Chains A and B, each alone.
Chain A
Amino acid sequence: MRLLPIIFAVLLTACRLGAGEEFRFPPPEFESGYSLPQTTHPAVSSCEIVDIALLALALLAAGFLAHRARSRRGLVALAVLSLLYFGFWRQGCVCPVGSIQNVALFLSGGIASLPIVVVVFFILPLLFALFHGRTFCAAVCPLGAVQELALWKPVKVPEWLEHILGTLPYVFLATAILFAATGGQFLICQYDPFVSLFRLSGKVSALAGWGAVLFVCLFIGRAYCRFICPYGVLLKACARLARKRITITPDECIRCRLCEDACPYNAIRIPVPGGVERKTAPRERKILAALILLLPVLATLGALAGGRLGVFLAAKHPAVKLAEDINRRNLGETPKDNLPLIALRINRGDEGQVLLRAEKIRRQMKAGAATGGAILLFLLGMKLILLTVRPPRRDYEADPAACVACGRCYEYCPREQARLKIVPFDN
């Protein structure tokens, strides 16, 4: 517990550093006689077909290992293989986490077509989550694998803090979609903490970024997955509906409580007795009614705040930044053109068009942020309602949304020990 503040400080610093940037060599500005090679469309690589096939195979294997074989070792081995292939060999691209942005850009009409590999990487883990839960996180995602393998001395995050930090991925997802759909930046890739590790390259800040995130993950299990990953939001939604869920025990829970604190990711739910105590029942009912009535108010507040903040958010969009540079230059605030303005002039760009586009993007960002704000606060209200209505639970269960199917809890269960014939078990 005492380590927590230090760990979070490091995590915040790491996020601030930004990770995914790589070196870029600008072309010479003088004539050197060298003719730049012509850009052509990349041909469909056979690698992409291999990627798709391996992703499907890995997902199938993860499902089998988590549900049928119940093998933690198998899952770790698969995670290592995924890390080697999807992480180091394919250098973390294309990944389902980043594919959200391509899909958002395509759906907003920003690009005419979407490569099949991106579509498959976006959809397949979600489809599997509908059947098997988050087995993608367990052993296929290279980002998850790094964190899984890095966890050294798990520090439990208090549940109240877990709930608060658990809202961050929703905010990140909404912001990333907003920026991608308006053709701005791919924030998810830009703030991918491990891409510079996979590519063995990057700016000093990027290297410091992955070092810091890795340090945090030594103590807080899957800090990125739990408190940042935007794809996790979608996976959680699908996993809630999963046909087959991870069970701690292979057959019947005997409520021995040995697994109670087994999960470093706070995904095990303890039994809740049925009914509510007579004394607290009226108060709880009132809170519930108030929360239900508050839902539309929250959504409206979210829309209002989002709409206003959207304009500030838009100021971070490259096209809007460029338009602001033009305005500042026209008003005489900056006597010298900065690099983007020089590039615009060299390419004979139409400043009028840039300004019109920026205004359009600002309107889009405002509308998008208002919608996002309304949805986020509505979901927050729903979360508070769910925390109020605690349905009775008889056994120790893995929360289908929070459980990443890592298989750590299996070995804590005496029924599992008996199934594996490690220890004899007598009812």
Chain B
Amino acid sequence: MRKQFLSEIAKRRAAQTALALAAVAVLALLVGAARLNRDVMRKNTLLEKARVDLRGQDGGGRDEIRRLDAEYRQAQLRREIFVRKGALACALLVCLFFLCNIFLQARTLPEVRKPGEKPISAALARPALAGVSGFALVMAFAFILTHGKVPAEKFTPPLQPDKPAPGAEDFRRNWARFRGREGAGIAVGEPYPTSWNAATGTGIIWKKELSLPGASSPIIWNELVFLTAADKDSRLVYCFSAKDGAAQWERRILVPGGTAEAPNVWDEDVYAAATPATDGEKLFVAFATGDLACLDFSGNVLWAKKLSPRELPDNNYGHSSSPVVVADKLIIQFDQGSLASDGKSFLLALDKNTGNIIWKTPRAVPNSWSTPISAIHAGREIIVTTADPLVQAYDAGDGRELWSANLLGGEHTASPVYADGRVYAATESMRLACLDAGGAGDITQSGLKWEAFDGLPNIASPLCYNGLIFLADSGGKVTCYDAASGEKLWEQECGTPFQSSPVGAGGKVYCFDEKGTAHIFSAGKTLAPVGTAEISEPVKSSPALVAGRIFVRTKKHLFCIGTGNDG
């Protein structure tokens, strides 16, 4: 026989005592917690009543609500502390019982049945199981029958009056993507202001402070302005009223998965460098982290994904290319890697309703920061991209490459423009190239109409307006070429570098320099400065021009400039 530390009876008594104590403790805990719970409920009722009674009252009313709210929270906290302490005591007693029980679980040999005797319960197993299951099934059908056919009422949203899908005219008068319709940077409609001064407030209709920085440009759809902003940790989408700048909503974008790291950027503005795009019904936003999201105009996220699901985009300055909507697709130029041979760059077409990939075409280029454009050329929708060293055109339907030209180089940021069957692309270290958009294969030689080498931009994209090409370079110079021949017509030193792309409106060209001075010229073959106007804050984004108003984003503010404070 093994020697036992405690007798069987002593162990049994200990277990019984621990169990009884645990039971008493649990009961005491339950009673105490129920009492405190009643107190919490009572205080909650008082608070709710005060909320109703004192609604709209300032001063005393608000203080009373705050006092009751504090009391309510204190009661919650008292209950929480009591439960924690009580549960700990119960758990300790339960563990003590466990301990005694471990030693108590001695063998007690059962009575042995007579040979051949079958356990009665086993014989009943089949009929009992069949009987109970049958009964349950009958009860289920009886329930279904007595409760009608099932709730026939369907959840259907109330019918909205048929709203026609946004058409060409809507896109013409709005500013739905980076640089507006087709990425051309050309506004239509009313005359646009040519003088304003942010310091005095002249010509400034409204100005809104932004909580986070960014280099992306605003877009406008009807009466709403959309804008993105971000820092190392968060990504935001703002929606303002175009009329008076009233904040409509602000949505923080959180895309699950990926890494929590932030891209290593040279300037915090580039966390949000990509401009949003809209199809008139949904909003698409992208950030340096490769986070991509689709929202409705109420700010609800419809879908969100990471362009690079497991890591940050392999991009020196973070992903900056803006999304572009082409029919039912969302086009993303996702260029990555230090070398073209890294094979990490793609042109993606996503289903704009779901975010699922429709096609994905590999691109033999390293990381770039330019935004693609789309255009109808010879009856076919094409997408034109620029990067180091290629200008490329793709079929928007299936993503097939149509042609390419090896004409660019360096760190490429400026986007191309399309006009009258030609594509214009410029890069600071190489050239301004004019290409025929209708070629096939390698059109480096065959498609090149003309090239020029003066006033080449670093970040600002070219503008093709009134048959002229305008460039705003990083040396602070504006240069004008004839779009047909490539002849240089004029140039003007402005003194401050340009990052913002020039825009054309009302026969004039607007170029915002880095200090926030707008240099305005007549869009003619001869140099004709109209004047300058001041925002007095650094401008890196491109302006959006709609209905006689200019929307400009600076590091900390969004400005709406108009003719007079006509609100």
- The interface of chain A, by Cβ under 8 A from chain B, is 23, 25, 28, 30, 38-41, 43, 76, 80, 88, 111-113, 149-152, 158-164, 167, 196-197, 200-204, 207-208, 211, 214-215, 218, 257-258, 260-262, 270, 301, 305, 308-309, 311-312, 315, 320, 323, 327, 330, 348-353, 355-356, 358-359, 362, 377, 380, 383-384, 387-388, 408, 411-412
C-alpha spacing A362/B151, complex, angstroms: 10
> Which residues of chain A are within 8 angstroms of B34 by Cβ–Cβ distance?
204
Cβ–Cβ contact B158 & A352, under 8 A: yes
C-alpha spacing A258/B233, complex, angstroms: 67
Chain A: CB-nearest residue to B37? A204
Cβ–Cβ contact A260 & B110, under 8 A: yes
Q: How many residues of B are counted as interface, with CB atoms below 8 angstroms from the partner's CB atoms?
A: 78
Proximity string of chain B (156-186) to chain A, C-beta cutoff 8 Å, 1 when within and 0 when not: 1110100000000000000000000000000
Q: Does B113 contact A (CB under 8 A)?
A: yes
> Which residues of chain A are within 8 angstroms of B122 by Cβ–Cβ distance?
159-160
Q: Evaluate whether A159 and B121 lie within 8 angstroms (CB atoms) in the complex, with A149-B101, A309-B144 already known.
A: yes
Q: Does B3 contact A (CB under 8 A)?
A: no
Cβ–Cβ contact B300 & A348, under 8 A: yes
Chain A: CB-nearest residue to B110? A261
Cβ–Cβ contact B102 & A160, under 8 A: no
Q: Does B358 contact A (CB under 8 A)?
A: no
Can you give 5 A-B contacts (C-beta < 8 A)? A40-B233, A160-B122, A167-B133, A260-B113, A348-B299
Cβ–Cβ contact B124 & A201, under 8 A: no
Q: 14 other contacts beyond A201-B84, A349-B300, with CB at 8 A cut-off? A: A38-B233, A38-B252, A39-B254, A40-B260, A43-B260, A111-B256, A150-B101, A152-B19, A197-B87, A201-B80, A257-B112, A258-B109, A380-B133, A387-B129
Cβ–Cβ contact B156 & A355, under 8 A: yes
C-alpha spacing A299/B172, complex, angstroms: 60
Cβ–Cβ contact B102 & A388, under 8 A: no
Q: Give the 5 A-B residue pairs with the shortest CB-CB distance, closest first.
A: A352-B157, A158-B121, A160-B128, A261-B110, A160-B124
Cβ–Cβ contact B157 & A202, under 8 A: no
Q: How far is the CB of A76 from chain B (nearest CB, A)?
A: 6
> Which residues of chain B are within 8 angstroms of A412 by Cβ–Cβ distance?
107, 109
Which of A196, A309, A358, A383 contacts B140, CB < 8 Å? A309
C-alpha spacing A160/B125, complex, angstroms: 4
C-alpha spacing A160/B121, complex, angstroms: 6
Cβ–Cβ contact B83 & A411, under 8 A: no
C-alpha spacing A197/B249, complex, angstroms: 42
C-alpha spacing A362/B83, complex, angstroms: 38
C-alpha spacing A218/B234, complex, angstroms: 52
A152, A161, A260, A327, most chain B CB atoms within 10 A: A152
Proximity string of chain B (274-297) to chain A, C-beta cutoff 8 Å, 1 when within and 0 when not: 000000000000000000000010
Q: How far is the CB of B27 from chain A (nearest CB, A)?
A: 8
C-alpha spacing A261/B122, complex, angstroms: 13
Cβ–Cβ contact A207 & B157, under 8 A: no
Chain B: CB-nearest residue to A319? B155
Q: How far is the CB of B353 from chain A (nearest CB, A)?
A: 13
C-alpha spacing A39/B144, complex, angstroms: 45
Cβ–Cβ contact B83 & A207, under 8 A: yes
Q: Evaluate whether A308 and B150 lie within 8 angstroms (CB atoms) in the complex, with A163-B128, A207-B33, A353-B300 already known.
A: yes
> Which residues of chain B are within 8 angstroms of A308 by Cβ–Cβ distance?
144, 150
Q: Does B141 contact A (CB under 8 A)?
A: yes
Q: Does B215 contact A (CB under 8 A)?
A: no
> Which residues of chain B are within 8 angstroms of A311 by Cβ–Cβ distance?
150-151
Chain B: CB-nearest residue to A330? B158
Cβ–Cβ contact A214 & B101, under 8 A: no
> Which residues of chain A are within 8 angstroms of B300 by Cβ–Cβ distance?
348-350, 353
C-alpha spacing A23/B80, complex, angstroms: 8
> Which residues of chain B are within 8 angstroms of A200 by Cβ–Cβ distance?
83-84, 87-88, 91
Q: How far is the CB of A342 from chain B (nearest CB, A)?
A: 12
Chain B: CB-nearest residue to A310? B150
Q: Does B153 contact A (CB under 8 A)?
A: yes
> Which residues of chain A are within 8 angstroms of B62 by Cβ–Cβ distance?
30
> Which residues of chain B are within 8 angstroms of A208 by Cβ–Cβ distance?
30
Cβ–Cβ contact B254 & A207, under 8 A: no
C-alpha spacing A312/B151, complex, angstroms: 8
Cβ–Cβ contact A211 & B157, under 8 A: no
Which of A76, A149, A202 contacts B87, CB < 8 Å? A202
Cβ–Cβ contact B129 & A25, under 8 A: no
Q: Does B94 contact A (CB under 8 A)?
A: yes
Cβ–Cβ contact B151 & A327, under 8 A: no
Cβ–Cβ contact B87 & A30, under 8 A: no
Which of B30, B127, B309 contacts A204, CB < 8 Å? B30
Q: Name which of B65-73, B495-503, B530-538 contacts chain A.
A: B65-73
C-alpha spacing A309/B143, complex, angstroms: 9
Cβ–Cβ contact A211 & B113, under 8 A: no
Cβ–Cβ contact B101 & A323, under 8 A: no
Q: Evaluate whether A163 and B260 lie within 8 angstroms (CB atoms) in the complex, with A355-B155, A356-B155 already known.
A: no
C-alpha spacing A160/B153, complex, angstroms: 42
Q: Evaluate whether A163 and B125 lie within 8 angstroms (CB atoms) in the complex, with A76-B102, A113-B256, A323-B155 already known.
A: yes
Q: How far is the CB of B55 from chain A (nearest CB, A)?
A: 12
> Which residues of chain B are within 8 angstroms of A270 by Cβ–Cβ distance?
119
Q: How far is the CB of B123 from chain A (nearest CB, A)?
A: 8
C-alpha spacing A171/B66, complex, angstroms: 48
C-alpha spacing A152/B34, complex, angstroms: 29
C-alpha spacing A164/B133, complex, angstroms: 8
Cβ–Cβ contact A312 & B155, under 8 A: no
> Which residues of chain B are within 8 angstroms of A348 by Cβ–Cβ distance?
249, 298-300
Q: Evaluate whether A312 and B150 lie within 8 angstroms (CB atoms) in the complex, with A149-B102, A197-B91, A380-B133 already known.
A: yes
Cβ–Cβ contact B129 & A149, under 8 A: no
Q: Evaluate whether A164 and B129 lie within 8 angstroms (CB atoms) in the complex, with A312-B150, A350-B296 already known.
A: yes
Cβ–Cβ contact A164 & B132, under 8 A: yes
Q: How far is the CB of B82 from chain A (nearest CB, A)?
A: 11
Cβ–Cβ contact A161 & B87, under 8 A: no
Q: Does B257 contact A (CB under 8 A)?
A: yes
Q: Does B453 contact A (CB under 8 A)?
A: no
> Which residues of chain A are within 8 angstroms of B98 by Cβ–Cβ distance?
80, 149-150
Chain B: CB-nearest residue to A363? B154
C-alpha spacing A362/B256, complex, angstroms: 26
Interface positions, chain B 64-109, Cβ under 8 Å from A, are: 65-66, 69, 73, 76, 79-80, 83-84, 86-88, 90-91, 94, 97-98, 101-102, 104-105, 107, 109
Q: Does B15 contact A (CB under 8 A)?
A: yes
Q: Evaluate whether A161 and B140 lie within 8 angstroms (CB atoms) in the complex, with A30-B65, A149-B101, A151-B101 already known.
A: no
Cβ–Cβ contact A28 & B298, under 8 A: no
